[in-house]
Amino acid sequence: MADSVSPQHHVPADLPDRIRHYIDGAFVDSVDSDTFDVLDPVTNDAYVRAAAGKKADIDRAVDAARKAFTEGPWPKMLPRERSRVLNRIADIVESRDACLAELESFDSGLPITQALGQARRAAENFRFFADLIVAQADDTYKVPGRQINYVNRKPIGVAGLITPWNTPFMLESWKLAPALATGNTVVLKPAEFTPLSASLWAGIFEEAGLPQGVFNLVNGLGEDAGDALVKHPDVPLISFTGESSTGQIIFGNAAPYLKGLSMELGGKSPAVVFADADLDAALDATVFGVFSLNGERCTAGSRILVQREIYDEFVERYAAQAERVKVGYPHDPATEVGALVHPEHYDKVVSYIEIGKGEARLVAGGDRPADFPAGNFVRPTVFADVKPDARIFQEEIFGPVVAITPFDTEEEALELANGVKYGLAAYIWTNDLKRAHNFSQAVEAGMVWLNSNNVRDLRTPFGGVKASGLGHEGGYRSIDFYTDQQAVHITLGKVHNPTFGKSA
């Protein structure tokens, strides 16, 4: 534990003395009693130890989840009955949003105002899927007088959920809500950097009336607990959010078991600003799009492509606005960029800033804020005149660092936008209606926003192309992923069977 803490750094009063697994309705330690340190991103001191799960712990959790699926009431409940539980979960999360945000902000370094928004979004995720499963309709196909064919949806079994350290509580809800809504049981493996908020789900679910064994949680390192979950033969589904390199490993490890996979991976998303765009709106949106959530967001518009006619003005104004972004303690409501999640990640981001200084023109930031000599603080950093072969153009940094590149023609802009291995999101700024639609459809991205920052309707598919992912979730796509679709065929009239073997 930290010996001393800055008087300006807020430490929540109700931190746990340890973080344990939650298996079959009980908090438990690891089978081998192993633990790992969880760090405060402001001080980088360990503030708690968490149980370090291994294969034996995953086996226990999967056994509990499997038993709850085969013997328990949850998969057999009517959609309305499950929706009542999900709505109670949403009510509880909403009623505790300030507490949840405080703990999330402390554990992850996110600014408190943004953490509060994520807590409220977590509640909305549960409420959305509570509504969706009640309103859900499945397909029926009729051949009048001869046949009816209908689709019967069934929960699949134990869903393995592996979640990242950026906005962890909200992203856990994004997977938990549809997995539970459709009648599956789950084993959650949260990110080892940020296990604090995940430990709160157990109490929330118990209070809401979720049956024992339906939700299980195993903390631990990805190469231990995560690997065991992916390889477990009784886990037919894996939903993963994280780095593309880790996604490749999961893909290979899941292949022998032919598991269902949904993987939302990395991004290096372009924000394309044409000369006819609303420049004030584009500036605000692109500053927010890369510096919100500390830049630790997969959909960050971290490559800004700007048409030559407005390039100099855009760079000058963007750099000035980035310099005004307030870096501060995560608990301060005025803070816009807090502390990066972990010293390992801080070192990665800083290393890319140093690479960028040799590749492009630094116009803002590029160092540690003077007021924060310790902790994982980085000033919002802006590079201009970035070449398309630069590493800071091609590689995901996942921090408050942006690369700005000029273009002359629409064709050049499209080539630059598509010229990376990722394809998660894209942001297009133009008032030309034809260009907006044609460019959006040509860009290699799973999601496109026109003249907007990342404002997402929960009914729409979420996912990427190329190295940014496999499959989609969101709305009915989540229902599809977490259920088996069984086609049932009923003959209504005379059976028209060919006759084999009739003649003597």
Instruction: Tell which phi-psi region holds residue 250, choosing left (phi > 0), alpha (psi between -120 and 50) or beta.
Output: alpha
Evaluate whether 113 touches 337 at the Cβ level (below 8 Å): no
- Contacts of residue 496, defined as CB under 8 A and 6 or more positions apart, other chains included, come to none
User: How far is Cα 52 from Cα 2, in angstroms, rounded to an integer?
Assistant: 21
> Torsions phi, psi of 57, nearest 5?
-75, -40
3-state secondary structure of 353: helix
Strand partners, 273: 306, 429
Which tokens is 492 given? 């209504």
99 is known as an active-site residue: no
Token pair belonging to 190: 């949260």
Amino acid letter at 171? L
Cβ contacts of 344 within 8 Å, gap of 6 or more: none
| Helices and strands per DSSP (H, E), number in the chain | 15, 22
CB within 8 Å of 434: residues ≥ 6 apart: none
Which amino acid type is present at position 201? Answer: W
Half-sphere exposure at residue 247, Cβ-oriented, CA atoms within 13 angstroms: 22
Q: Is 264 a catalytic residue?
A: yes
Q: Which of 298, 359, 396, 444 is catalytic?
A: 298
How is 152-206 classified by DSSP, letter by letter? EEEE-SEEEEE--SSSHHHHHHHHHHHHHHTT-EEEEE--TT--TGGGGHHHHHH
Counting every residue, how long is the chain? 504
Interatomic CA distance for residues 24 and 213, integer angstroms: 4
Give me the DSSP letters along 111-159. Answer: -HHHHHHHHHHHHHHHHHHHHHHHH----EEEETTTEEEEEEEEE-SEE
Of 172, 192, 264, 473, which residue is the catalytic one?
264
Strand partners, 19: 50
Nearest-angstrom CA–CA distance, 453 and 71? 46
**Cα gap 453→428, rounded to integer Å:** 9
Packed helices 79-95 and 201-208: angle between N→C axes, nearest 10 degrees: 130
Pairwise CA distance, residues 267 & 243, whole Å: 9
Residues with a catalytic annotation lie at 264, 298
